[in-house]
Structures are given as C-alpha cells and as structure tokens.
Structure 1
C-alpha cells in the first residue's frame, strides 16, 4: 500500500527532526573555525586536537571498557533471567523476581543512580570503574531480558524435545539447539546494552569516582563551559561507530535468521 502524501510529510518531518541536528554536528566537526556556529572552511584540525586531548582519550577508553564488560555481563544475566521467566512459570517469589527485572525499565535513572550510590556507600565500596560497571550491568540486563524473552516465547520447543528424546543431555541440547536459535536476540540485546552503557550520563555520574570518568560525563562537563569543535569531532566518531555497529548487527541478525530457518528445516527433515 502506497503511503499518502500526509503520511509521507509527517514521516519526513519526523526524520528531519531526528537527524538534521546530527548532520549539522557532523558537518561542523570539519569546520576550520574555532567558532562552532561559523563555517570557516573544511579542516581535520579538530580531529588532531581531539586525539591529543589526553582527558578525552582516557574517558573514551574508560567508556569502552565499561560498555564492553557491562554489556557482556548484562547479556549473560538477562538471558538467564529470560530463560527463568519463560521456562519456569511457577516458583516461589516469581512475582517479586519479575518486578525486579522490569523495574529499571520504568524507574527514573536518578532514582536508580541514587539507590546504587547509597548501596555502595553502605557497603563501604570505593566508587570507580567497577561500581560504574556494576551499575550499568544492573540497568542494561533488563533490556536484554525483554528481548530474549520475546524470542523464547515464539521458540519451537519441539526441537529441544526431539533432541532430548534422542538422548542428548540438557546442557548439550541448550548449546547445540536452543542457543543458536536465540542467538540473534542475544546479539541484539548485547548491542542495545552496549549502546545504553555508552550513552549513560545520569547513573554513571552517581556511581563514578576518581579515575573512572566516562566520556558522556567528560563531554557534559566541557559543554557546560561552551561547545568546542573537538567535542563535535569525538561525537562524530561515536556516531560513526554506533552506525557501523548497527549495520553489522543488522547483517548478522539477517544471516543468523536465514541460518536458523535452514537449521529448523534440516531438523524437521531429520525427525521426519
């Protein structure tokens, strides 16, 4: 069905509202002028200045490490939580467990950050890299759980049952049958968790400490004194990195889906 002119106009306005500011930021990252709102010609000078800014580079390295570690831990815990919620319909404390998994989705980040800060203070833990990692793992695992749970709800369990009937141990069945079929959802959850960690400012500002300044905190502290072209440069690199990640995840998900369909057909033929 061809969209109407009204639908096309609304869609164009929405895309323009979302992406024109990003395009302007990218364009002005190549601005030769020190004034971010005045075009002074094309230049890569601010990228060189950015690489020589040790504070920004240290913050970027901290952000990358926190994102990779928290996304991985959050994906593991979120996948286990999704398996528990889908495969075990009745167990003591299920309602409380479900509420704790879903709570970070609706809870304001200020509340989450403050509660984690009070926790770390109560147990006398020095705030730094690991406290930020724990905080990011806490609020990203719920997103992974939602994504993996949606895949498990449509999962054909007859393939697992066939493998178990043929003598495959439960652990081997999980790694050879279940895991490959839900892998696209797990990868998508990991990408979302990494992006959320990369973007977080509020929770990290509550749980960070000396030597663990993340890139969003660093950028925010500098922007309060005025936007500089090097901020545009590093934001452009982040946009490019996230874009490449999304494209790679999309391609990987499509290939995994094709592989899943092929494996399901092969398993059905083998069972038949």
Structure 2
C-alpha cells in the first residue's frame, strides 16, 4: 500500500526548494526597493528600472550577451546535431573513439582550462580578441551539450519511418528534413535552449576570450558587484529571470506540441503497416 511521501522527504524537498528559489525571490523583491541600499527596504518603486534604461554600458553589455547567445547556440546546435548523427548512425569508423572523446571533452574539462587554452590559441595565431573569439569559444564548449541531448534521442529513434520514406522514393536529404528532423525536434530545441543558457551564464570562458568593446552582461555585473551591489543589477537580473521564465514556458509548450505530433505520426505509420 502506497502511503505517499514521508515527512522527511517533504521537509528535505521544501528546504531544498527554498534554498534554491528564496534568493531569487528576494532579488526580485529588492529590485523594486526605493532606496539605494539593497539591504534596507525603503518602500516600493520602479525607478531603478527607469535608471537601467539610462545606463548605456549595461544595455550594450546586454545586447552583446544576447547576440553572442543566439549566434553561438544556433551554430552549436547545428554542429552538435551533426556530431550526434555521426556517432549514432555511422557505427564504427576510423577515429570514432577520438572523435567521441573530443566531442565529450568540454563536459568534464574545467572552464578555466578551456578559457586558458582558447586564450593561448587566439594569441598564438594573432587573432584579435573580441566578439568573434567569444563566439568561437562558446560554440566549442556548448556544442557537446547539444550532441549529448540529441544523441540520447537518436538512440531510441524508430528508423523504420525513414526506411519507409526511402522505399517510397524520397531522397535521403528530404527524408531527413521531412521525417527525421521533425521527430527529433524536441531534443534539438532542448539542446539549443541549453546552449543558449550556458552562453548567457558564462563568465569564466568569456573573461579569457573577451576584448575591447565585447563586454558581456555577466562580466559587467561581476565587475560592478565587486564594488558593491547596485539596485540596477537587481533590476536587470529580474528582467533576465522574466525573459528566461517566459522562454521556458514557450519552449515547454512547443516541446509538448512536437511530442504530440511525433506520437501521432508514429501511430499513423503503425496503422499504415
């Protein structure tokens, strides 16, 4: 007989959730604090949000971060998906172990090592550091996460759907875009969101590979926090939380819709057989 979760489990979950989300709730609340001292509540106000729009340096850093995340996540998703297909579909080939290890290496290597190695590479080849060096670095360390997510989906993929399309005369490339890609789209979207989040959050690797005029938002926030927490930092962090939460909700709905379409396609294919 199932008696439900014990009081110990409920208490542990409650404390864990409070430890994770209570600081975020406090940050959001204090972003509406009327006073400049972030430790003393002086009433409700939205003046720090208006002051944020007057901080051109913070806005420039936010724009660099968004562009960096969108570009690096998109390229990493394409490369990571190609790497996952290669590892799953092409079986044993010469250099497979080396290729698999190189794809998975950024998962276990410390970010300091990755950032330093990227820095040495760009310095040795004479590549001026800036936006594009950060983009290359972010693509390098986020691609492996996409590959792992997509690879886990391809392992359980029903290849009879592709074989049926090929038997009916559909070219391989069209089969991929018409059959394979829609069915693995939830994993691809999840990989893109994970890559975008990692790029948005990165501080260590960006610090090694950044250059003049390419300051990201984490670097900007970190440099200001060292001198004291400003209410504007609470405001921009609240905006980021809202955007990420909205994106997570939209992605969740999209993934649920894609999963429903996938199941409907598999049921139709099974009925056709």
Match of 1:140 in 2: 142
Find the aligned partners of 1:51 and 1:134 in 2 and give their Cα distance.
Answer: 30
* Equivalent residue number for residue 172 of structure 1: 174
Tell me the distance in 1 between the aligned counterparts of 2:247 and 2:112. Answer: 28
Partner of 1:48: 50
* Residue 224 of structure 2, aligned match among 222, 225, 232: 222
1:122-137 correspondence to structure 2 within 5 Å? 122-137=124-139
- Which residue of the other structure, out of 249, 252, 263, is the alignment partner of 1:250? 252
* 1:192 Cα deviation after fit: 0.6
**2-structure distance, mates of 1:58, 1:39:** 29
Deviation of residue 267 (structure 1)? Answer: 2.0
Q: What is the deviation of 1:268?
A: 2.2
Q: Deviation of residue 167 (structure 1)? A: 1.3
| Deviation per residue, 1:116-146 (Å, 9 max, x gap) | 0111111110000100011000000100000
**2: distance between equivalents of 1:188 and 1:242?**
14
- Residues 145-197 of structure 1 show CA distances to partners (whole Å, capped at 9, x for unaligned) of 00000000010011111111111111111111100000000001000100000
- Match of 1:154? 156
- TM-score normalised by the chain length of structure 1: 0.98
1:22-72 alpha-carbon deviations (Å, 9 max, x no partner): 101000000000100000000001001111000000000000000000000
Distance 2:54 2:266 in 1: 52
Structure 2 residue 214 is matched with structure 1 residue 200: no
Aligned partner of 2:69 in structure 1 is: 67
Q: Which moved more, 1:161-170 or 1:21-30?
A: 161-170
CA distance in 1, matches of 2:5, 2:159: 39
Please state whether the residue corresponding to 2:213 is helix, strand or coil.
Answer: coil
Question: What is the CA RMSD across the aligned residues, in angstroms?
Answer: 0.7
Q: Give the deviation of 1:111 after TM superposition.
A: 0.2
Q: Does 1:6 align with 2:3?
A: no
Misfit runs of 4+, over 3 Å: none
Distance 2:261 2:177 in 1: 16
SS in 1 for 2:33: coil
CA distance in 2, matches of 1:105, 1:242: 23
5+ residue gaps, structure 1:
none
**Unaligned 5+ runs, structure 2:** none
